[in-house]
Amino acid sequence: MAVADRETNVGYGKTTLAVIMAVSICHGINDIMQSLLSSLYPLFKANYNLDFVQIGLLTLAFQVTASLLQPVVGLVTDRWPMPYSLPVGMASTFFGLILLGNAHSYELLVVAACMIGFGSAVFHPESSRIARLASGGRHGLAQSLFQVGGNAGQAIGPLLAAFVVLPYGQSSVAWIAVIALVGMMILTRVGRWFMEHRRQNASRPAASRTLPFSRARVLWALVILVVLTSTKNVYMASISSYFTFYTIEKFGMSIENSQLMLFLFLGAAAVGTFMGGPIGDRFGARFVIWFSILGVIPFALLLPYANLFWTCVLVVLIGLIFASAFSAIVVFAQELVPGRVGMIAGIFFGLAFGAGGLGAALLGDFADSHGIAWVFRVSSYLPLLGLLTIFLPRMPGHRPG
């Protein structure tokens, strides 16, 4: 039995907050880079004369690169943990940013996006495992702290675009690559902690891989979680990729102000992600998923018809409520398939990227043919699919509080 199997059985000891915060910070760095990419779409559209299909394909190149590789990385690292793969993945992001800042053609933009996507694919499964190992059994808290770093990074990206890249030009993207170097140093230290953790726990018994339900019921529950994740991320992609264009077209905003509107949404998503984990530890992941799905539906349906003031209010509420579900979904899936932390993290983080990428590409085509406002009206119905949560089983042994 591989060492990774024993590590997943390290249960309810002391939470190693410093390690969780380290991978959370690096998650933020990773997601700053990927949100910076989408924040610069208006600049790229102007510089390279792109249409919305090309914008969507650029998102697809980044997110599918991450999506296809993440489950593979998760499967491999479940068997053979590779803690020092984390700084290697961050190095790919570093060189992708350098290329993004110096690209002189659309094709090079796509290559740069793929390099950033590869770095993200390597980062998520192993860092999610480390956050769980350091949780001391508080899996919801650890997953939400880990995830909130990513959401904070996504919120910071548009600010860097508005106050650094747009004033100083595309070449200034390469300056931001210095942040990735900081991430590489932090992840090297995290890798050392992981190696020491493995050494100290090498004699522990292997984790049980007994499923909590029948195989068919577990598979059905995973399919529902996949649908929920896909729905959530296609809707989130419609906002993160096209909200700047929507506010520019509908309200006549400048590019800089549209970035600040996007920051409102992404910042609220970061807060919602943090709230979801501790609530899930107390009341169960299923409760958080229900709250997130039911709570967001009325606000999503109202958004396309709101004026500027209520658009600001609604995107904050949508980000706050909808984002709380993701850490709960990951924890719920990891409990459904014990002993496969990396594989589950790879599938669901990868699915998040892949569904968002496919959705962005499809919505880009609709935006060209039907307009941005039409896209936002249609996508507002996507959260209704979250009602499938009713078919999720109650996990045995969980007691609120």
Average pLDDT score over the chain: 81
Taking 80 as the threshold, does the pLDDT of residue 178 lie above it? Answer: yes
If one counts the domains in the chain, the total is 1
Q: Categorize the per-residue pLDDT at 397 as very low, low, confident or very high, splitting at 50, 70 and 90.
A: low
Is 76 contained in some domain?
yes
> 132, 142 in Cβ contact below 8 A?
yes
Per-residue pLDDT of 139-151, as tens digits, reads: 777 877 887 787 7
Calpha distance 247→134 (Å, rounded)? 41
Taking 90 as the threshold, does the pLDDT of residue 90 lie above it? Answer: yes
Is 398 contained in some domain?
no
Q: Which pLDDT score is estimated for 8?
A: 41
Is 156 contained in some domain?
yes
3-state secondary structure 246-259: HHHHHHCCCHHHHH
Q: Which pLDDT score is estimated for 1?
A: 35
Is 399 contained in some domain?
no
Q: Which pLDDT score is estimated for 182?
A: 92
**Domain of 235?**
11-391
Q: Which pLDDT score is estimated for 209?
A: 64
Per-residue pLDDT of 236-292, as tens digits, reads: 877 877 888 888 888 988 887 887 888 888 788 878 877 877 777 777 778 888 888
Is 316 contained in some domain?
yes
Is 102 contained in some domain?
yes
Q: How large is the average pLDDT for residues 16-22?
A: 87
Taking 90 as the threshold, does the pLDDT of residue 313 lie above it? Answer: yes
Percent of the chain with pLDDT over 70: 91
Taking 80 as the threshold, does the pLDDT of residue 379 lie above it? Answer: yes
Calpha distance 14→21 (Å, rounded)? 15
Q: Categorize the per-residue pLDDT at 54 as very low, low, confident or very high, splitting at 50, 70 and 90.
A: confident
Calpha distance 368→366 (Å, rounded)? 5
26-61 in b/e form (b: 16+ CB < 10 A) is: bbbbbbbbbbbbbbbbbbbbeeeebebbbbbbbbbb
> 32, 182 in Cβ contact below 8 A?
no
Taking 80 as the threshold, does the pLDDT of residue 319 lie above it? Answer: yes
Taking 90 as the threshold, does the pLDDT of residue 91 lie above it? Answer: yes
Q: How large is the average pLDDT for residues 371-391?
A: 87
Q: Which pLDDT score is estimated for 306?
A: 92
Is 44 contained in some domain?
yes
Is 68 contained in some domain?
yes
Q: How large is the average pLDDT for residues 39-60?
A: 83
CATH of the domain at 114: 1.20.1250.20
